[in-house]
Amino acid sequence: MNVKRLRRVYSKAALVTVLSSILVTPGCLQTTTKSFEFETKQQRDKRMKWWRQARFGMFIHWGLYAIPAGQWKDKEIRGIGEWIMNNAQIPVAEYEQFAKQFNPVKFDADQWVRIAKNAGMKYIVITSKHHDGFCLWDSKVTDYDIMDAAPFKRDILKELSVACKKHGIRLCFYHSIMDWHHPDAQGPHYPTYNTGRKKNPNFSRYVENYMKPQIKELITNYGPLGVLWFDGEWIPEWTEPQGRDLYSFVRGLQGDIIVNNRVGKGRKGMQGLTKEGYFAGDFGTPEQEIPPMGLSGVDWETCMTMNDTWGFKSYDENWKSTEDLLRKLVDIVSKGGNFLLNVGPTAEGLIPEPSVERLRAMGEWLKVNGESIYATTANPIGELAWGRCTAKPGKLYLHVFDWPVDGKLEVAGVKDKIKKAYLLADRKTKLSVTQNEDTTIVSVPYKNLNTIDTVVVLEI
Ligand code: H79
């Protein structure tokens, strides 16, 4: 949220507080959905608390597109796998046929959640419905879902909600506003569903009679949810007032839910942060990128793929290394953001092995160094040539990517007196520190404990 919007919300909050004390009893105020937009900073901080502490989540893109897996009529289709219906210009009636083949017998919700948990992830965002319109839960307003159209006949989201509760992971849903299947949405825009120009005149009927009832099902039958993560909001049919209305609708169904900024029209392209002015949504959503600098007082989350697709593609082997992924997590957290890292399970229901391996390795590092990630805040001391910095009250965590060959770690920008220094992975060994006006030198062992990121803790 930007400063202007904050001010506006505060002044509205003050006004509502005054009015409500005059006009209505506190009990009545809670029943109006509109009041949610007028929360105080304290109320907002309370609502955002778990999310700001979590820092690391799993994105899951799963749906019918896992069946073609990037291939259509013996041709490899360029682009992200979950866009194949649009990119290969597949007619609705033909794409629907995939539903009859969707039988992911190896799907094990408990195992997926354990993979996320062992990776050190605190929440899962799964595609309840992507742009192709196919629904992974038993929806009462359509037959185009896992229970009615597919042989699998198991409610995937229900099984995940049970497993998430069991393992203490927050369940969240990605939900596409754009819908290439629905006749009142982008279905008739075939052959290019994502035209950017055509408008379906019946779109508000889709919103009121289909999308909102579905969102109500998701929140009431699968909640409480952590986040509703909207997408596909760039279609010309969607407007900011509709976004605000949807935001209020969602918060009205679950007061403490968190909603991303793609609910309305506030996002700045793929950089994802929210534009100046009054826009709905609680956090910015950079996609496949990390903002170049820290952004204090702004909530944001970078979402990213491990290879070059969100939905499974059988021939995409362009995996980022564990080193790259882990340093990206640290870079994001040092700038005050969250990292939502994607997996694209196969049509059989398996998370690809290269993803599992990388997640396991990230989890191992986090088991030792998690204190320097969870519930930390952005770097308070300025850029560091050899790595990154995260902070907690009384502590600085120096994430050393490039270990000093001479054993002298130079740290500029520390104003406070350092009381104690040690490696997070070896708390017993005290490190000696010499402190001048602007530069601090920490004497570290000649060899690092971890070649990807060894964390030095300074207690101040
Ligand atoms: O679900 C994954 C992708 O399928 C989806 N978002 C992630 C999380 C995605 N949708 N679109 N894209 C990725 C790329 C398309 C970007 C564009 Fe635009 C849409 C270019 C023009 C319209 C958004 C709005 C970016 C710039 C303006």
* 307-321 average pLDDT score: 98
> Nearest 5°: CA angle at 185, between 183 and 187?
55
Cβ pair 57, 304 in contact under 8 A = no
Atom of ligand 1 nearest to the CA of 61: 1
CB atoms inside a 10 Å sphere around CB 111: 15
- Of 234 and 275, the one with more pLDDT: 234
Peptide bond into 224 cis (omega under 30): yes
| In the chain, % of residues over pLDDT 70 | 91
| pTM of the entire predicted model | 0.92
Q: Which residues line ligand 1 (CB under 6 A)?
A: 80, 82-83, 231, 234, 269-270, 287, 303, 310
The residue assigned the tokens 């041709």 is 75
- Does pLDDT of 277 surpass 90? no
Q: Strands across the sheet with 227-231, in order?
A: 258-259, 227-231, 170-176, 123-129, 56-60, 338-343, 301-304
Tens digits of residue pLDDT in 46-55? 999 999 999 9
What gap in Å lies between CA 256 and CA 206, rounded to an integer? 26
| Amino acid 437: pLDDT | 82
Token couple for 242: 């509709």
Structure tokens at 208: 């009121």
Q: Torsions phi, psi of 32, nearest 5?
A: -90, 130
> Does residue 106 have a pLDDT over 60?
yes
Residue 1 has pLDDT above 60, yes or no: no
**How far, in Å, from the CA of 308 to the mean position of ligand 1?**
14
Contact 28, 99 (CB under 8 A): no
Q: Cα of 232 to ligand 1 centre, how many Å? A: 7
**Distance of alpha carbon 206 from alpha carbon 195, whole angstroms:** 18
Ligand 1 centroid–CA 184 distance in Å is 21
Better-scored residue on pLDDT, 7 or 199: 199
**Contact by Cβ (8 Å): 366, 117:** no
Q: Hey, what's the torsion of the CAs at 85, 89, 93, 95, to 10 degrees?
A: -30
How far apart are the CA of 372 and the centre of ligand 1, in A? 32
- Whole-number Å distance, alpha carbon 132 to ligand 1 midpoint, is 14
What number of H helices and E strands is found in the chain? Answer: 13, 17
What does the block give as tokens for 28?
């009545």
Q: From 64, 198, 234, give the residue whose CB has the most ligand 1 atoms within 8 Å, as the site to mutate.
A: 234
CA-proximal residue: ligand 1, atom 6 (nearest): 231
Tell me the pLDDT tens digit for each residue of 395-440.
999 999 999 999 999 999 999 999 999 999 999 999 999 998 889 9
pLDDT higher than 60, residue 27 = no
- Per-residue pLDDT band for 38 (boundaries 50, 70, 90) equals confident
* Residue 7 or 96, more confident: 96
Cα-Cα-Cα-Cα dihedral sign, residues 306, 310, 314, 318: negative
Q: What is the pLDDT of residue 15?
A: 34
Q: Is there a contact between 412 and 382 (Cβ–Cβ < 8 Å)? A: yes
Please provide the average confidence, as pLDDT, over all residues in the chain. Answer: 92
> What pLDDT sits at residue 30?
31
User: What is the arithmetic mean of pLDDT over 31-37?
Assistant: 41
Using only C-alpha atoms, the chain has a radius of gyration, in whole angstroms, of: 24
* Dist. CA 51–CA 42, nearest whole Å: 15
With CA atoms as reference, report the closest residue to 119 among 317, 392, 306.
Answer: 306
| Predicted pLDDT of residue 278 | 81
Cβ distance 342 to 59 under 8 Å? yes
- Residue-wise pLDDT for 109-141, tens only, equals 999 999 999 999 999 999 999 999 999 999 999
pLDDT digits (tens, 9 = 90+) for 447-456: 999 999 999 9
Q: 299, exposed or middle or buried, with CB in 10 Å at 0-12, 13-18, 19+?
A: buried
136 CA from centroid of ligand 1 (Å): 21
Confidence check: pLDDT of 442 > 80: yes
Summarize the confidence of residues 340-361 as an average pLDDT: 98
Encode pLDDT of 54-105 as tens digits: 999 999 999 999 999 999 999 999 999 999 999 999 999 999 999 999 999 9
Pocket probe for ligand 1: among 59, 64, 83, 85, the residue whose CB has the most ligand atoms within 8 Å is: 83
Which atom number of ligand 1 is nearest to the Cα of residue 80? 4
